[in-house]
Structure 1
Amino acid sequence: MQKNDVNTMLLFLAVVEAGSFTLAAERLNMPKANLSRKISQLEASLGITLLERTTRSQHLTEAGQTYLAHCKEIKAQVELANAAVEKALNIVSGELKVGMSVGMGHEILKPVLSQFMQTYPQINLSLNLLNRRVDVIEEGFDLVIRIGALEDSRLVAKRLGKITRRLYASPHYLKKHAVVEAPKAISELDVLLMSSIQKAQTMILKNGHQECEVEIQPRMRIDDYVVLKQMVIDGVGVAILPDYMSQKALEAGQLVQILPDWQLPEVEVYALYPKNRLNIPKVKMFVDFIQQVFTARLDIH
Structure 2
Amino acid sequence: MVLKRKKGKYMDRLDLMTIFVAVAEAESFSGGARRLAMSPPAVTRAISALESRLAVKLLDRTTRYVRVTELGQRYLDDARRIIAEVDEAEDALVGINGTPKGQLTLTAPVLFGKMFVMPVVVEYLQRYPSMDVSALFLDRVVNMMEEGVDVGIRVGELPDSSLKAVRIGQIRRVLCASPQYLAEYGVPNHPHDLQQHRIVAATGVTPSVEWKFWQEQQALSVRLRPRLTVTTNDGAIESALAGFGVTRLMSYQIAHFVESGQLQILLPDFESAPLPIHVLHREGRHKSARVRSFVDLVVERLRQEKALS
Shared fold (TM-score, shorter chain, > 0.5): yes
Specify which of 49, 57, 60 is matched with residue 57 of structure 2. Answer: 49
Trace 1:148-163 onto structure 2 (pairs within 5 A): 148-163=156-171
1:180 to 2:191 alignment: no
Structure 2: runs of 5+ lacking an equivalent: 1-9
SS at match of 2:267: strand
1:279 to 2:302 alignment: no
Percent of paired sites with the same residue:
31
Seen in structure 2, the aligned counterparts of structure 1 residues 278 and 270 have a Cα distance that, compared at 3 Å, is: farther
Distance between the aligned counterparts of 1:110 and 1:131, measured in 2? 16
Contact 2:302–2:308 (CA under 8 A) maintained in structure 1: no
Distance between the aligned counterparts of 1:252 and 1:48, measured in 2? 63
Specify which of 142, 162, 181 is matched with residue 150 of structure 2. Answer: 142
Between 274-283 and 56-65, the greater mean CA deviation after superposition: 274-283
SS at match of 1:66: helix
Trace 1:153-232 onto structure 2 (pairs within 5 A): 153-206=161-214, 213-232=221-240
SS at match of 1:167: strand
Specify which of 252, 256, 262 is matched with residue 248 of structure 1. Answer: 256
Distance between the aligned counterparts of 1:243 and 1:164, measured in 2? 5
Q: Deviations over 1:136-164 (max 9, x none)?
A: 11111112111222225232222121112
Contact 2:172–2:250 (CA under 8 A) maintained in structure 1: yes
1:234 to 2:224 alignment: no
Specify which of 61, 64, 69 is matched with residue 69 of structure 2. Answer: 61
SS at match of 2:238: helix
| Alignment size in residue pairs | 300
Partner of 1:18: 26
TM-fit CA distance, 1:89: 5.6
Specify which of 291, 295, 299 is matched with residue 303 of structure 2. Answer: 295
Distance between the aligned counterparts of 1:131 and 1:253, measured in 2? 27
Q: Deviations over 1:197-226 (max 9, x none)?
A: 434443333478687544422233334322
Trace 1:55-94 onto structure 2 (pairs within 5 A): 55-88=63-96, 90-94=98-102
Partner of 1:120: 128
Between 170-179 and 38-47, the greater mean CA deviation after superposition: 170-179
Seen in structure 2, the aligned counterparts of structure 1 residues 19 and 196 have a Cα distance that, compared at 3 Å, is: same
Distance between the aligned counterparts of 1:196 and 1:247, measured in 2? 18
Structure 1: runs of 5+ lacking an equivalent: none
Contact 2:96–2:289 (CA under 8 A) maintained in structure 1: no
TM-fit CA distance, 1:229: 1.4
Seen in structure 2, the aligned counterparts of structure 1 residues 97 and 277 have a Cα distance that, compared at 3 Å, is: farther
Between 174-183 and 134-143, the greater mean CA deviation after superposition: 174-183
SS at match of 1:265: coil
Distance between the aligned counterparts of 2:286 and 2:160, measured in 1? 17
SS at match of 1:279: coil
Seen in structure 2, the aligned counterparts of structure 1 residues 126 and 300 have a Cα distance that, compared at 3 Å, is: closer
Matched AA of 1:236? F
Seen in structure 2, the aligned counterparts of structure 1 residues 114 and 275 have a Cα distance that, compared at 3 Å, is: closer
Seen in structure 2, the aligned counterparts of structure 1 residues 88 and 297 have a Cα distance that, compared at 3 Å, is: closer
TM-fit CA distance, 1:11: 1.3
Contact 2:60–2:68 (CA under 8 A) maintained in structure 1: yes
Matched AA of 2:242? D
